[in-house]
Structure 1
Amino acid sequence: MSIEETEPPVTAFMLVKTTPEWLALTVQERVDAFTTQVLPVIKARTTGVRSRFYDTEFYSARVTDVWVWEAESHHAYRLLIDALRETPFWDRYFEVVDLLVGTENGYARTYGVEAVTTIAT
């Protein structure tokens, strides 16, 4: 199977805002809540998903964090969202402000051209 016939990975930029309930927890309680209430549900419901977290509260009042989720397929991404909605993460600890979902260099795949990238030195 060629790369053109495979489904490209999905990247989701999840823009969230912390809730007062989350902020009322201590740092250790937050870590415990995430590792016991959120991660096990994600692991049980989907595979092929990776996450990274960025703090933005220093620069934005509307969005306090950007969580980048990389899923190996649209199916894995959908399972991830379904899993998150069944945890206190969704609308209890965090308000999901926006979801920006895409595939890296999708235009290049669509048009069969080399991706334009930059490397700063």
Structure 2
Amino acid sequence: MITVFVLLKTTKEWLRLERAERNRIADSVLSTVLSDNKVTLRMFDAEAFTTKCTDVAMFQAEDMQAFYFAIERLRDSELITTPYFEMVEIIPTIEDGFKAFEKASIPK
């Protein structure tokens, strides 16, 4: 299992939309992005705490290919192409990677 954090920034075009329209677009796009059920998504708001990004998307995927395919679908969507959001940074992580390293590296 991999976890990838994607830092996103909203555009003025997104903010000009009515909230109901934002929800409709997001629901439609994300159902396509996550269509293969190999990737999950959690969203976090950050705009009150930083100017670097407004949102943080936390993707969890079975493997890197599943994540990659989800990101390709996201990049092809109106959320990115209109653009309603800009991708600021992508941060791949391995949960407790040091524990796996220690288990594999420390002789018994």
> Shorter-chain-normalised TM-score: which range?
0.7 to 0.9
Q: Which runs of 5+ in 1 are unaligned?
A: 1-8, 114-121
User: Normalising by structure 1, what TM-score?
Assistant: 0.78
**Is 1:107 aligned with 2:98?**
yes
Q: Are residue 76 (structure 1) and residue 66 (structure 2) matched?
A: yes
- Which is richer in helix? 2
**Does 2:16 match 1:20?**
no
Q: State how far apart, in whole Å, the 1-side matches of 2:47 and 2:54 are.
A: 4
CA-atom RMSD, angstroms?
A: 1.5
Q: 1:96 aligns with which of 60, 84, 87?
A: 87
Instruction: Calculate percent identity across the aligned residue pairs.
Output: 32
Q: How far off is 1:73 after superposition?
A: 1.1
Structure 2 unmatched ranges of 5 or more: none
Report the equivalent of 1:63: 53
Q: Distance in 2 between matches of 1:43 and 1:80?
A: 6
User: Contact 1:47/1:76 (CA < 8 Å) preserved in 2?
Assistant: no
